[in-house]
Amino acid sequence: MAAYSSLTSPICTWPVANYISSVAYQKNHNTLNSSMFQYPKRHKKLMSRSGCRNINGYSSNTIAVSLQPEEELKTEKQQRKVAVTGMGVVTPLDHHPDVFYSNLLEGVSGISEIKSFDCSKFPTRIAGEIKSLSTDGWVSPKHAKRADKFMLYILTAGKKALADGGVTEQVNEEFDKIKCGVLIGSALGGMKTIHEGIEALKISLKKVHPFTIPYVTTNIGSAVLAMDLGWMGPNYSISSACATGNSCILNAAHHIIKGDADIMLCGGSDAAIIPAGLAGFVACRALSGRNKDPTKASRPWDTDRDGLVVGEGAGVLLLEEMEHAKRRGANIYAEFLGGSFSSDAYKIVEPHPDGMGIVSCIENALTQSGVAREDVNYINAHASSTPVGDLIEYQALMHCFGQNPELKVNSTKSMIGHLLGASGAVEAVATVMAIKTGWLHPNLNLENPDERVDGEVLVGSKKERLDIKVALSNSFGLGGHNSSILFAPYKQL
């Protein structure tokens, strides 16, 4: 990796220009009124940092970091560890991590008949649909009224992760906002907003909402959440289909390890349960047809599996540099060890038959994280209840970890369906909760395991105890995107 280039004065003036424009915005607009973390407060911390100042209001320490030799940066990176200090979810089972995981442990299914629109003419009429969600206190009234659901899920889960991490308004005011970032992605973005825009255009051009384009973009949730909090560090979104959540988590962790940020909100969100979304998955012939018994539809590794069940929701982790978390007395749920990506480079909707893309992703994750494969004894698999995909992933897992007698594998999708770009993040929350509680949730509907899998490796129909050493969470996406991330219990030295 090349050494960082030095910061020049013209580049440094950009944040100041941004500050000036945002102050002007504050004077002329009624900004967000969420009861948690008011938007304009970011600037107070920006202008009150300690240390020597240059003419742009930034400390010389900030510039000194950018001038460090590459060797020193490598040493610094090795010293920076990443902690999970907060979690937030919006799911078909519940919107609080503890209740969500308790339902998973009890084998409760969140899959039911779709109620948000008339789907009587569709061959599949079931989903992991969120029936109700209160955004009161989390989302400003103007956004709550007109924003796309995927964005509302991001804002709600994101702020719940902060609350879970003990980040109050007062604590947030003490943060260095330049070192706080948001990286929450989406596979499909504002599908409902696109649909509404098309319907409005059929009536008149004047009926198209001026925020149609902003509310469609996958980055809008990260952007508005950062505005609410005043966080001015890394801020963008990643879209890698159903690997989106893991992609965002891993990149957010890299920002912390590199020193770009001390704290990051990261994860994924999707809300594709609309007529066009359901029709698209039907056309792919990817969905289960068990309309008469929705809770039995998602059945990873079971002989009678007949396709995935689409779901919706969001998952957000609060990642924090370990020493930063300790200094503020944060509750550390787990340590993020690392991860990796790879590509099958094969077909859009099919994984490569040999599974080597998955194998290389897992092995790279282990190598880069310094984790021995025998230490990985729990895997939250991608397994989405498809006849081909479940088996290919299983075989890849056995290639990497088949010699580990303690290995246990389950799939959260058996109870909530496939949450698309949110799946990796929500399953990361489930993985961290497994570490926290010492309990693994069951594989719902694993009544007749495929003869090509080892039933002893898969968690059964009841929750199981496990002292987790290292946990792996997989997410794979259309187009051959593979991602694996690793967590471990936090051990205080």
Active site residues: 242, 382, 418
80 C-beta neighbours (distance < 10 Å), count: 16
Question: CA quadruple 392, 395, 399, 400: dihedral positive or negative?
Answer: positive
Q: Is 90 exposed, middle or buried (0-12, 13-18, 19+ CB in 10 A)?
A: buried
- Comparing CA positions, the residue from 46, 47, 50, 69 lying closest to residue 61 is 50
Q: Which residues contact 245 (CB under 8 A, 6 or more apart)?
A: 185, 267, 268, 315, 421, 422, 423, 424, 425, 426, 427, 428, 475
The two structure tokens encoding residue 229: 């909090």
CA distance 121 to 297: 19
The two structure tokens encoding residue 234: 């890394």
- Comparing CA positions, the residue from 283, 161, 139 lying closest to residue 220 is 139
Q: Which residues contact 358 (CB under 8 A, 6 or more apart)?
A: 342, 344, 351, 392, 393, 396, 474, 476, 482
Per DSSP, the three-state class of 452 is: coil
